């Protein structure tokens, strides 16, 4: 199971580190390794949330997630997307941006590519922060089969019955972030935050519509089979929008990793290779969690991941004005996952003891 799921990750890691050593020497080898670890530590909670979505997709789309999805993650989100962001926010032409990115340390109008990306941080943080905040809010405000922190979650579930309450909180958060942290970039933060909210509502809404249709067709097919009939399902479209949701989620998680990577190196190929290796492990871990049924066995893992996402959303928004070290973000995510895992283990042992006593 481990080798089958992580085999590609192990192979790409070995090939990537060898390539880094050949191209850039031991320094490049070390930088790529550090970037890989950075990406894994920042996105571990991403794997848990991904797994909650991926388990609703069939094996074919799980393979798409591991193949096409990783290409989008590595080349799209960690190479092309930063180029687009720099071009749009700094009003630079495509060739100028590519020239700056390919020539480490080169300046245009007094700034390097890494500095332009840093200047684009308010827009990136506002978009990603609000998107992640909506994921957290929709989880914490929704009724759940199990409550981890009952004293907090039960009251919030009651409040969550109010229509569009999570969207209202997100809009208020956008206004507060623009007022407190944006300074002269308030308009940019407002626009990026609203786009983040709109993207979440659009992608999540479409995936929910098609998923509901899939469930209805599955029920209809079951009834039709009893009557000797057959119905063609529309699972492909449902899975497609779930896949799209996962890619946007990955983009939101990758923002802080991409920006933080420039504190280590401004070589975009080292960044793409290092973060790409990390992204591959996150995808393999996602599939591993689904195939092992880990989320069913350890019921609080999903809670811990969403709390970590909530904190990450706040960190991104506060990071518009104040720099927060990436190690802090990574440790918070790992801390929530570890605490949720420990609570799940304790719960399972407690239930086993009660079952033993009753028998």
Looking at the predicted structure, is the pLDDT value of residue 85 above 80? no
Locate tokens 């799940």: which residue?
A: 344
Tokens representing 304? 């811990």
CA distance 52 to 293: 10
Whether residue 202 has pLDDT greater than 80: yes
- pLDDT band with cut points at 50, 70 and 90 for residue 193: very high
Provide the 3-class DSSP secondary structure of residue 23.
helix
Q: For 103-120, how does the pLDDT look when each residue is reduced to its tens digit (9 = 90+)? A: 877 888 888 888 888 888
Helix axes 326-358, 235-261, angle to 10 degrees: 130
Q: Average pLDDT of 47-53?
A: 80
pLDDT digits (tens, 9 = 90+) for 298-329: 888 889 888 988 888 898 898 888 888 777 77
Using CA atoms, how far apart are residues 132 and 3, in angstroms rounded to an integer?
32
The predicted-structure confidence for 246-255, as pLDDT tens digits, reads as follows 787 777 767 6
| Neighbour tally for 351: CB within 10 Å | 10
């Amino acid at each position: 199971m481990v080798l089958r799921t992580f085999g590609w990750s192990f192979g790409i890691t070995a090939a990537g580190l060898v390539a880094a050593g050949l191209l850039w020497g031991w320094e490049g080898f070390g930088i790529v390794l550090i970037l890989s670890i950075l990406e894994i530590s920042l996105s571990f909670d991403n794997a848990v949330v991904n797994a909650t979505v991926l388990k609703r997709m069939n094996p074919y789309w799980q393979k798409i997630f591991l193949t096409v999805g990783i290409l989008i993650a590595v080349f799209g989100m960690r190479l092309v997307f930063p180029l687009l962001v720099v071009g749009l926010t700094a009003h630079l032409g495509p060739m100028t941006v590519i020239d700056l990115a390919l020539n480490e340390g080169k300046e245009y109008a007094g700034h390097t590519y890494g500095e332009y990306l840093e200047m684009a941080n308010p827009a990136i943080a506002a978009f990603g922060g609000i998107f992640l905040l909506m994921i957290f809010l929709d989880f914490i405000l929704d009724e759940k089969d199990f409550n981890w922190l009952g004293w907090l979650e039960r009251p919030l579930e009651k409040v969550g019955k109010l229509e569009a309450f999570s969207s209202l909180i997100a809009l208020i958060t956008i206004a507060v972030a623009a007022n407190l942290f944006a300074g002269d970039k308030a308009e940019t933060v407002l626009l990026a935050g609203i786009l983040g909210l709109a993207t979440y509502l659009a992608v999540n809404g479409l995936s929910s519509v098609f998923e509901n249709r899939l469930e209805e067709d599955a029920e209809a097919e079951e009834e039709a089979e009893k009557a000797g009939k057959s119905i063609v399902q529309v699972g492909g479209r449902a899975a497609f929008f779930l896949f799209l949701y996962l890619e946007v989620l990955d983009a939101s998680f990758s923002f802080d990793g991409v920006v933080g990577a420039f504190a280590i190196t401004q070589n975009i190929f080292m960044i793409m290779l290092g973060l790409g290796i990390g992204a591959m492990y996150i995808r393999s871990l996602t599939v591993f969690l689904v195939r092992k049924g880990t989320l069913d066995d350890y019921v609080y893992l999903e809670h811990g991941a969403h709390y970590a996402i909530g904190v990450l959303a706040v960190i991104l928004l506060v990071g518009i004005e104040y720099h927060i070290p990436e190690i802090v973000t990574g440790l918070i995510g790992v801390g929530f996952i570890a605490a949720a895992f420990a609570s799940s283990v304790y719960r399972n042992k407690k239930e086993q003891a009660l079952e033993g006593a009753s028998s």
